Amino acid sequence: MSLSGIGRLLAGCLRIEIRGATAERFVNLAVSRGIAFWNVRRGPGYLQADIRIGAFRSLRDIARKTRSRVRIKSRRGLPFLLGRWRGRHGFLAGLAACAFAILFVSSRVWFVEVSGATTQTRAQEVLGIAAECGLRPGAATAGLDLREIELGILSKAEYVSWARLRVQGTRVIVEIIEKTLPPAPSEEDLRPCDLVARVPGTVHEILVYMGEPAVKVGDSVAAGQTLIEGRIKGPPVERKPGSQPGGATPTADKPVRARGKVIARVARVSAAEEQFVQWVEQRSGRTYSRRVVRLPGKDIIWKGRQPVPFARYEAVSRVRSLCWRNIPLPVESITETFYELVQVKTEVGREEAKERARIRALESARAQVPAGADVVGISAESSESDSAVNVTVTITTLEDIGMPGPAR
């Protein structure tokens, strides 16, 4: 409904019926005097339309001039609705009380829930903190400072790292995310050790968290070589009386568990060979069948009792379960088909053989690359003989090669 239609219903309107031979003249005179008609509908011998309440009295003079008859068919709008309720004071009071109750109830918080708590105890603690900040059943929604309540939960609940309040009508949901604390270090994690190389490579970057670096950028290291020593240099130690002067000044080093990152350039090599002449197995077309009935604890061969007459074969079994009136029976019918295999000589072109060898070598090298390593280069080299081609693939990566090792 349009805004004009809503305004007419609020002001009230009449549905009138005009009868007479000059109904059109009646409407034209009324329009010339500023009277508006809408929803006009013409019928046999009459004309119906809607007008404003105040315009009905002005139609009497026009009706006399055009010798038309005008009568009210229906009344619509707020004034007529209020007129029906006039004198019904109890009904109006109840309606007002109901509207007030609905407004009051809808403007309050009646349910508070916690989402994201790992235990019921923590959920109750968060509800208690929210109640201290003013969020409790019965609180006015308009008076809640959601940001202030969120900050209160974050400051008072140490195990909460994030909090947000979501209002859904009369329900408020407190969404929280608890802090994920690292596990307590074990005795093995606290034991002093060095950081050694997991694989050989060339050092590209060193980042020491704890300990003393034993290599520098550009050094080539072998597997098991110490990268970061598990010690912290202490203050110089006084020389004992009578000791020879000169040489390195001794220090009181403190053993620690070496920690850090040693990014190295690592090369992983894999080779594959592909023959130019290959023998592959194919089905010759000859088959041999065997049928077996399998009972609980026993197999009965009722066709094909002889041994398979092929030296090399491929076996394919098809199992069919038996049933009676949709009731499965403990009996199976097995059909075994044996396909004879023969070796067929095939020749592979040099380029195709090289590509096959390259793909197999690349897959083998990629299988050696650990997760998280950054591949920075892939190269391939090939060599041929009269009967085969050999391809060597090298994958170069940048990765952290450090792992805990025994302290020196």
Q: What is the CATH number of the domain that holds 79?
A: 3.30.70.260
Query: Buried b / exposed e across 180-191, counting CB within 10 Å, b at 16+?
Result: eeeeeeeeeeee
Residues 355 and 371 in one domain: yes
Segment 40-78, tens digit of pLDDT: 888 888 888 888 887 888 888 888 888 888 888 888 887
Residue 126 belongs to domain with CATH number: 3.10.20.310
Distance in angstroms between the alpha carbons of the first and the last residue of the chain: 88
Residue 367's pLDDT is what? 92
Residues 315, 367 within the same domain: no
Question: Is the same domain home to 372 and 327?
Answer: no
As given in the structure block, the two tokens for residue 1 are: 């409904």
Does the residue 203 lie in any domain? Answer: no
Residue 202 burial class via C-beta count within 10 angstroms: exposed 0-12, middle 13-18, buried 19 and up: middle
Q: How would residue 236 be classed by pLDDT, with cut points 50, 70 and 90? A: low
The arithmetic mean of pLDDT across residues 388-400, rounded, is 94
**Percent above pLDDT 90 for the chain:** 35
136 belongs to a structural domain: yes
Residue type, 330: P
Task: Name, in order, each residue with C-beta under 8 angstroms of 13's C-beta and a sequence gap of 6 or more.
Answer: 50, 51, 52, 53, 75, 76, 77
Q: Say whether both 25 and 68 belong to one domain.
A: yes
The reply to whether 372 and 341 lie within a common domain is no
**Which residues in 348-387 belong to E strands, given as ranges?**
374-384
| pLDDT exceeds cutoff 80 at 408 | no
pLDDT at 247: 52
**According to the model, what pLDDT value does residue 57 have?**
82
Mean pLDDT of the chain: 86
Confidence grade of residue 101 (pLDDT, cut at 50, 70, 90): confident
pLDDT band at residue 355, thresholds of 50, 70 and 90? very high
> What pLDDT, on the 0 to 100 scale, is given for residue 375?
93
Assign 366 a pLDDT band (cuts: 50, 70, 90): very high
Asked if residue 336 and residue 367 are part of one domain, the reply reads no
Q: Which residue has the higher pLDDT, 369 or 187?
A: 369
Annotate 248-270 with b (16+ C-beta within 10 A) or e (fewer): eeeeeeeebbbbbebbbbbebeb
φ/ψ of 366, rounded to 5, equals -65, -30
Shared domain for 124 and 144, answered yes or no, is yes
Let me know whether 307 and 328 are in one domain.
yes
Distance between CA atoms of residues 339 and 317, nearest Å: 11
Estimate the crossing angle of helix 120-132 against helix 146-156, to 10 degrees.
130
Residue 113 C-alpha from the chain's centroid? 24
402 Cβ contact partners less than 8 Å away, ≥ 6 residues apart: 195, 196, 197, 198, 227, 228, 260, 261, 262
User: In the structure, what pLDDT confidence band is assigned to residue 228 with cuts at 50, 70 and 90?
Assistant: very high
78 shares a domain with 7? yes
Last residue of a domain, one of 126, 143, 178: 178
* Diameter of the chain measured on Cα atoms: 145
Tell me what pLDDT residue 357 has. 92
**46, 23 Cβ separation under 8 angstroms:** yes
Shared-domain flag, residues 318 and 354: no
What type of residue is 273? E
Cβ proximity of 214 and 192 under 8 Å: no
pLDDT of 60: 83
pLDDT one-digit tens code per residue, 181-223: 777 777 777 788 999 999 999 999 999 999 999 999 999 999 9
pLDDT score, position 248: 52
Residues 265 and 200: their CA atoms lie apart, in Å, by: 9
Which two structure tokens, joined as six digits, stand for 180?
A: 């994920």
Give me the residues paired with residue 404 across strands. Answer: 195
Domain assignment present for 226 = no
Question: What pLDDT is stored for residue 237 in this prediction?
Answer: 60
Q: Domain tally for the chain?
A: 4
What's the burial of 193, exposed, middle or buried (CB within 10 Å: 0-12/13-18/19+)?
Answer: buried
Q: Which domain holds residue 340?
A: 277-346
pLDDT at residue 241 tops 70: no
Note whether residue 139 is domain-resident: yes
Angle at which helix 23-32 crosses helix 59-66, to 10 degrees, equals: 140
Q: Is residue 321 part of a domain?
A: yes
Q: Write down the pLDDT at residue 299.
A: 82
Identify the top-confidence range among 19-33, 89-103, 240-254, 383-397: 383-397
Residue 122 lies in a domain: yes
Contact 360, 272 (CB under 8 A): yes
Using an 8 Å Cβ cutoff, are 220 and 227 in contact? no
Helix-strand-coil split of the chain, %, nearest 5: 25, 45, 30
Residues found in the chain: 408
Of 373, 359, 360, 298, nearest to 331 by C-alpha is 298
For residue 332, what are the β-bridge partners?
A: 294, 321
Of 150, 178, 206, the residue that ends a domain is 178
**Last residue of a domain, which of 178, 204, 234?**
178
What is the average per-residue pLDDT within 2-8? 67
Residue 254 lies in a domain: no
Residue 231 included in any domain: no
